[in-house]
Amino acid sequence: MNIANALTIARIAIVPVIVLLLLSDGMISSLICAVLFIAATITDALDGYFARKYHMVTDLGKLLDPLADKLLIASVLIMLVSLGRVPAWIAVVIIGREIAVTGLRGIATEKHIVIAANWIGKYKTAFQCAAIIPLLIYYTIFGLEFRLAGEFFLWIALFFTLWSGVDYLYQYMKQQGSALVATH
C-alpha cells in the first residue's frame, strides 16, 4: 500500500457515498455530491502523479485505478438517469464504450499490442467530468443554469466518447494488421 493506491481506494470509497446522497434528490445533497465528485477527480490526478513521480506504480494500482474511474463515472451516470437528469441511452453508450474498450484492452494485452492513451481519451474524460459536475449540481444557483451547462457538456462528452471508442478500435485493428503482416 502506498499513497497512490490509498488515493485510488479513497476514490472507490467516495462512490457509495455519492450514490446514497443521490437517493435523496435535493439541492444540498446535489451540491455535496458535486464536491465529492470533484474531490474524486482530484484523487485521480494525484494518484497518477504520485505513482509516476515517486515510482509507486504497482499491479494493484494498475488494476484499481481504471476500475475506480469506471465505477465512479458509471455509478454517477446511473444515478443521474434515475433522477431524470441524463437520458438513459446516453448513459448506456458511455458505459458501453467503457466496457468495450476495457475488453479490447484485455485482448490487446494478450496479443502484446500496446495502444497508448491519446488526446481524444483525455478530452473524453474531461468533458464527461465537465458534464457530470453541473448535472450533479443541477439547480439554478445565483442565476447560473447548471442543468443547461451539464446538458451542453454531455453532448460534447458523448461525441468524444464515441470518437475515442472508434479510435481505440481503429488503433487496435491497425496494430493487429501490422502484427499479421510481420508474421507472414
Domains of the chain: 3-183 (1.20.120.1760)
Nearest to 36 by CA among 2, 52, 54, 13: 13
Least confident of 9-18, 31-40, 106-115, 161-170: 106-115
> Can you give the pLDDT at residue 180?
58
Mean pLDDT of the chain: 91
Is residue 14 within 8 Å of residue 36, measured between CB atoms? yes
Q: What is the mean pLDDT of residues 123-142?
A: 95
Radius of gyration of the chain (CA): 18
DSSP type of residue 184: -
Burial class (CB in 10 A: 0-12, 13-18, 19+), 176: middle
Res. 36: pLDDT tops 60: yes
* Cell output for 54: 515517486
For residue 150, name the pLDDT band (cuts at 50, 70, 90): very high
Q: Residues 77, 135: contact at Cβ < 8 Å?
A: no
Where do we find the cell 491497425?
Answer: 174
Q: Is 80 exceeded by the pLDDT of residue 1?
A: no
User: With bands split at pLDDT 50, 70 and 90, how would you rate the model's confidence at 184?
Assistant: low
- Cα 86 to chain centroid distance, Å, stands at 16
- Predicted TM-score (pTM) of the model is 0.90
Q: Sign of torsion, CA 72 166 124 171?
A: positive
Grid cell listed for 149: 451547462
Using an 8 Å Cβ cutoff, are 58 and 2 in contact? Answer: yes
> Is 115's pLDDT higher than 90?
no
Mean pLDDT of 108-123: 87
Question: What DSSP state is assigned to residue 56?
Answer: -
Dump pLDDT digits (tens) for 63-108.
888 899 999 999 999 999 999 999 999 999 999 999 999 899 889 8
Position 126 confidence tier, pLDDT thresholds 50, 70, 90: very high
Q: What is the mean pLDDT of residues 112-131?
A: 91
